Amino acid sequence: MGTTIHEDAAQDELADMLADPRQEAELHRMVDRLRAGACPEWLVAMIGQTREQAAYWPAHQVAAFTSVLTRLSVGKIARRRVLVGSTPGRDADRRGNAERLGRLSAPFVAHLDMDQNGADSDGRLEWTEPVATFRSTAVPFLNAHVFHGTILTPFLLRPAAVPLEVGYTLPSRTFAHLIMDGSVARWAYSDQSIHLLVDLERVGSFMGVHPLPADVQEVRVL
């Protein structure tokens, strides 16, 4: 098994994928896409960003990445881009990153953990009034078949706060936040925006202003 809870969760996801021929085939296709550099850089970094290239991720990390991307593409996870206006500094530059996050426009407020000694995240992203996220309808346009090439529909969120991950993070950590917290906010080193991700099956029923869409079934957070 893995060395952390989130790696163990990814190992379990890998085992489930390998037990299903359709998911196993999708996993192998994703390995090929990552090795060929066929996935947009910002998209990969939104889910996982490491010092080594995604082409060299172990199988359980690819499984975690594939799971999150698949759920985005079919509208089970909603997303919103929150502009920061700059990329994050090094992990050790907590004060500088806190200053950068202080420029967020209302209603968003970021709270960066200045110590982060073994914490589950780098901080929290909060919003103080309802905000819209967007989910894929899985209906493609222009012959595109990935979530950023599909028709999107809004999903309105109540005021809330979610874990914030800055810079490098494993796909398994993003995956675990979504299955255990139901949400995560990602600010990758290469990105001038934070990506807010919300798992509608796990938290949409109480974070959403309106009822869940008909194609989303509520499940319990682990």
Domain count, the chain: 1
Q: What is the pLDDT of residues 107-123, one digit of tens each?
A: 999 999 987 656 789 99
Q: Is the pLDDT of residue 98 over 60?
A: yes
3-state secondary structure 161-219: EEEEEECCECHHHHHHHHHHHCEEEEECCCCCEEEEEEEHHHHHHHHECCCCCCCCCCC
Residues with Cβ within 8 Å of 12's Cβ and at least 6 positions away in sequence, in order, are none
What tens digit of pLDDT does each residue of 126-136 get?
999 999 999 99
Q: Which residues contact 153 (CB under 8 A, 6 or more apart)?
A: 75, 134, 135, 137, 213
Farthest CA pair distance, the chain: 48
Mention every residue, 6+ apart, whose C-beta is less than 8 A from residue 38.
Answer: 32
pLDDT, the chain, mean: 91
pLDDT in tens, 10-24: 999 999 999 999 999
Backbone φ, ψ for residue 142 (5° rounding): 55, 35
* Pairing status of strand 160-166 against strand 183-187: parallel
pTM: 0.92
For the cut 80, the answer to whether the pLDDT of residue 220 exceeds it is: no
Looking at residue 152, what is its pLDDT?
86
Which domain range does residue 93 map to? 1-222
Better-scored residue on pLDDT, 137 or 134: 134
Residue 3, pLDDT score? 80
